[in-house]
Amino acid sequence: MKRSCGVLMHITSLSSPYGIGTLGKEAEEFINTLRSAGQKYWQVLPVNPAGFGNSPYQSFSAFAGDPLLIDLDDLVANGLLTKAKCDEADFGADPTFVDFDKVTKVKMRLLKEAHASFCENKTASSGDVAYLAFTREEALWLDDYALFMALKEANNGVSWDNWENDIRFRKDSAIKQAMEQLSERVNFWKFTQYFFYRQWEKMRRYANKNGVEIIGDIPIYAAYDSADVWVNRELFLLDTGGKPIKVAGVPPDYFSKTGQLWGNPLYDWEEMKKEKFLWWVERFKKSAKLYDSVRVDHFRAFDTYYAVPFGEKTAVNGKWEQGPGMALFDVISKELGDYPIIAEDLGEIFDSVKELLKQTGFPGMKILQFGFNPENSDSEHLPHNYTANMVVYTGTHDNSTMKGWLKSADSNSRNMAKRYVKPVLFEQPYWACVRSLYASRADMVIIPMQDILGLDDKARMNRPGTVGGNWLWRMKRGAFKKSAINRLKSLSDTYFR
């Protein structure tokens, strides 16, 4: 890595007249602003279809894109919708958060209308040729995903383990019958993916043309209620009825006294190894098509992962088990070469995890907030301990905003922070925190957009271990003001990023 800097903000948080950030004009405007601010990276959260709790880390597919991110103006430009229909729809009145109930209901209705127009106007045009080419090229995951979503609709949204036995266990005759009966809905879900990926490629090209690279995010686990688990049950630790034997989580930690019970099914790593980790290889290949580099969530689980017996109410009674280690990354490296990967190596880290990180050569992460403590003791998360091969943050989507943390932290930790970053005259403490990271030895600095705007915890993206009220924040149009742009540019120039 070279010395560089960037901003962390999910696409849903962009301003937009349609209730949620999309891959359209606002994304290009944000890229222009990043360029003006001297930023080389835009880091996003997973762009897969959000599932339980609207979480991008609980997706219906590890390969599909979220239809809610599709830009409606592009569909208008293609004659598939009218601007009037988009303008008259109610996406929610508050521009500072995503009303997922309203946005999902209205946007899916509009996408269905666009699909109907698409089907009515089929010709031998280049657009149709591109669509057919897309469905063929992506058939490995697209056919299963589209059928899975059509079946979810037909089953009133319930999880696949509550479907009829023949389709739940993917009996050939049942799959064939479902494909025939639900063909229109299957084609609709393929249509959403075609436009998502077309718009994504356009946005990424625009970013790269303007000197901005996209950092993506791979969630470590697949959601139980997903096409991935329904199709590949043999790759997960499930019983004969399809129920998880053990589920994922983390032990009691900084965020929760009873740990975090994520509930995702765990991988059968022995079975995956027999298949030469093909599912993971395809996942990383898809990532390489989407992003210029990628953050791998919960990297430590590739070394040792926390397994909680299915049915437990908390994560207290879990235990650590052995992951695939370097065997997986040897295969990934062979298939993808030197694709840039950032390892999210936070939490309880054993020496073996550190050794795996060293073997891979991936940069790890450090969080400034974690460095300040009531004891005023030294910490690896403080900038004077950083090494070059690191990506450092004031906080991530799981943390308080910097301003929120400074307000809620105990007085000893807060005083330690102010002594350490030493705000200069008229400098807000949260900006001093940003400056301390820019001045550090770490090669890459990524700052959440909320910290650049100086927002409190009302703008916090996620509170780990909670359901509801997360993933909602949006940036008001015009909030990224010239003063903040100039300050970031000055920091970038001053510290040679």
User: Catalytic residue among 344, 345, 443, 451, which?
Assistant: 344
Distance of CA 441 to the CA centre of its chain: 27
Q: Scanning the structure block, which residue is given the tokens 């002594």?
A: 419
Strands (E), 105-229: 213-218
Dig out the tokens for 444 from the structure: 């890459």
Q: What angle do CA 185, 191, 192 make, to 5 degrees?
A: 100
Residue 11 CB coordination number (10 Å): 23
Strands (E), 437-488: 444-448
398 is catalytic: yes
The values of phi and psi at residue 56, to 5°, are -70, -10
| Burial of 369 per CB tally in 10 Å (0-12, 13-18, 19+) | buried
Q: Scanning the structure block, which residue is given the tokens 């899916």?
A: 108
User: Catalytic residue among 71, 144, 345, 398, which?
Assistant: 398
Strands (E), 268-379: 293-296, 304-309, 319-322, 341-343, 364-367
Please give the helix or strand (H or E) that residue 27 lies within, else none. helix 25-36
CA quadruple 160, 161, 162, 168: dihedral sign: positive
Distance CA 87, CA 76 (A): 11
Q: Do residues 79 and 125 touch, judged by C-beta distance below 8 A?
A: no
335 is catalytic: no
297 is catalytic: yes
Spatial CB neighbours of 371, under 8 Å, sequence gap ≥ 6: 379, 380, 381, 382, 383, 420
Dig out the tokens for 232 from the structure: 């590949």
User: Catalytic residue among 74, 213, 225, 297, which?
Assistant: 297
Closest to 63 (Cα-Cα) out of 131, 170, 144:
144
Which residues are known catalytic residues?
297, 344, 398
